[in-house]
Amino acid sequence: MAPALSRLAAADDAPMGPGGIPLARPDKPVTLPLWEDPIKSGLEPETDGTFTVFNYSDYIDKALVEEFGKQHKVKIQITTFDSMDQCITRLATKAVRADVTNITPDRLAQAVAGKLIKPVNPDYVPNLKKNVWPSLHSPFYDQESRYTVPYTVYTTGIGWRNDKVKEDIAGLANPWSIFWNSQAYKGYVGVLDDSREALVMAMLYREFYDINTEDPAAINKALDDLKALIPICNPKVNITEYQTLPEGTSWLHHCWSGDLLGGVFSYLPEGTDPSVLSYWAPARGKGPIQNDCWAISASTKKPVLAHLWLDYIIDNTVATDNFLNFNGYQPPMVSITPEKLVAEGRIPENLKTAVMGPDDFGPGALQEMTLTPKGQALWQSAYAKFVSGA
């Protein structure tokens, strides 16, 4: 039988999140409680009917999803959400009855406490240990990979156009300071439309690295610094830099590494040299890194097939095709290295900085993680004031 959720959650004296589950941090790993036993090994996958994949829009190659359906004789439906808030809400209200869902580590405790995702039997997912970085075999947010497999990894940094921005951003003593000195690029500057990332950027500008803080003074200081950008550069707040930087309608943008690479792969106008773009991210432990995951929805009627999906998505060929030919977000596969991508002509030498390695994860890394409800409210309130100009 699965141990009681509350009894396992209480085993750690760390601050508690949803359901009394300790808040996971890179230096404070958490073993998520099992609310039911995983399925038994050796079962045959279900066939017929529809298999529903719940995901961000345009975040997985539809052709690869269709191929999975063809292999297992099921119809495929991709249902999308716009934000992780919407994902969790729709799963919780059963507005969507998915078989598998994309999910971020900071929402895992909430999903487990709400019994929205099912435990994984690792016997069905051999590709995890065969193909994925060892540093993510038993990640801090889900020790023993009880509920998830990793999907993509990315850093948060700065993307810019070398034909427009004159400063050597990577060579600045504090590269984040470029945003507060960007008067010359007013109208062509962007900040990520993300309540955590935007405020974290302002914290890092001040060399404040406790990016999961719930200290109102630290959060309000970051808000003041963000608001100071408005008269300096009137930043656009969006997540379209994957398109606007390659097209040249944005010159300087707070940026996810996956969006910079996706822009190079898919949005550079024909004939444009990809070296027109550059990307900088802080050194390990000085800037946020993230990954997201796949999990099995608790509503699935095809639990064996859902396990096979988790294995399929970290197949070397599938993961590489999805990365290079579709979304630009790097999967944490041993077979993918920056040196190999440069040698194959997939990226120019100057964009190796947008490719991560297995040592980027682990204790000492910075990841935006689950907050207490009170802390979440503080962050969301501050961000709302920034985007509204209040």
pLDDT 10s digit of each residue in the chain, 390 long?
A: 344 444 344 344 567 778 889 999 998 999 999 999 999 999 999 999 999 999 998 899 999 999 999 999 999 999 999 888 899 999 999 999 999 999 999 999 999 999 999 999 999 999 999 999 999 999 999 999 999 999 999 999 999 999 999 999 999 999 999 999 999 999 999 999 988 999 999 999 999 999 999 999 999 999 999 999 999 999 999 989 999 999 999 999 999 999 999 999 989 999 999 999 999 999 999 999 999 999 999 999 999 999 999 999 999 999 999 999 998 999 999 999 999 999 999 888 989 999 999 999 988 899 999 888 899 899 999 999 999 876
Query: Does residue 253 share a domain with residue 235?
Result: yes
CA pair distance 128, 149, nearest whole angstrom: 7
Query: Does residue 212 share a domain with residue 77?
Result: no
Count Cβ atoms within 10 A of the Cβ of residue 166 and give its class: 0-12 exposed, 13-18 middle, 19 or more buried: exposed
Q: What is the pLDDT of residue 179?
A: 98
Query: Does residue 257 share a domain with residue 116?
Result: no
Query: Does residue 376 share a domain with residue 252?
Result: yes
Structural domain count, the chain = 2
Query: Does residue 262 share a domain with residue 223?
Result: yes
In a domain, 45, yes or no: yes
In a domain, 35, yes or no: yes
In a domain, 351, yes or no: no
In a domain, 247, yes or no: yes
In a domain, 360, yes or no: no
CA pair distance 317, 325, nearest whole angstrom: 11
Q: What CATH number does residue 317 fall under? A: 3.40.190.10
Query: Does residue 163 share a domain with residue 46?
Result: no
> Rounded to the nearest 5°, which phi and psi values hold at 73?
60, 45
Contact 267, 246 (CB under 8 A): yes
What is the extent of the structural domain holding 146? Answer: 20-153+291-337
Structural tokens at position 120? 């994984």
19 CB contacts (<8 Å, ≥6 apart)? 5, 9, 109, 110, 112, 113, 114
Query: Does residue 168 share a domain with residue 78?
Result: no
Q: What is the pLDDT of residue 390?
A: 67
- The reported pTM is 0.89
CA pair distance 296, 286, nearest whole angstrom: 33
CA pair distance 59, 327, nearest whole angstrom: 6
Task: Please give the helix or strand (H or E) that residue 91 lies within, else none.
Answer: helix 84-92
In a domain, 4, yes or no: no
Query: Does residue 381 share a domain with residue 241?
Result: yes
Q: What is the pLDDT of residue 217?
A: 98
In a domain, 343, yes or no: no
CA pair distance 196, 364, nearest whole angstrom: 19
Query: Does residue 79 share a domain with residue 183?
Result: no
Dihedral sign for Cα 177, 178, 179, 181, please.
positive
Query: Does residue 378 share a domain with residue 257?
Result: yes
Tell which residue, 91, 20, 32, 123, has the closest CA to residue 296: 91
Q: What is the pLDDT of residue 14?
A: 61
Q: What is the pLDDT of residue 6?
A: 40
Q: What is the largest CA-CA distance in the chain?
A: 64
Q: What is the pLDDT of residue 9?
A: 42
Contact 207, 175 (CB under 8 A): no
DSSP secondary structure string, 293-321?
EEEEETT-S-HHHHHHHHHHTTSHHHHHH
> Rounded to the nearest 5°, which phi and psi values hold at 114?
-85, 0
DSSP secondary structure letter of residue 248: T
Query: Does residue 185 share a domain with residue 251?
Result: yes
Contact 309, 98 (CB under 8 A): no
Tell which residue, 242, 259, 313, 366, has the closest CA to residue 55: 313
In a domain, 107, yes or no: yes
Number of C-alpha atoms within 13 angstroms, CB side, residue 354? 30
Q: What is the pLDDT of residue 7?
A: 39
Query: Does residue 211 share a domain with residue 141?
Result: no
**For residue 50, what are the β-bridge partners?**
75
Q: What is the pLDDT of residue 3?
A: 41
Q: Pseudo-torsion of CA 207, 209, 214, 218, nearest 10°?
A: 0
CA pair distance 194, 226, nearest whole angstrom: 13
Q: What is the pLDDT of residue 165?
A: 98
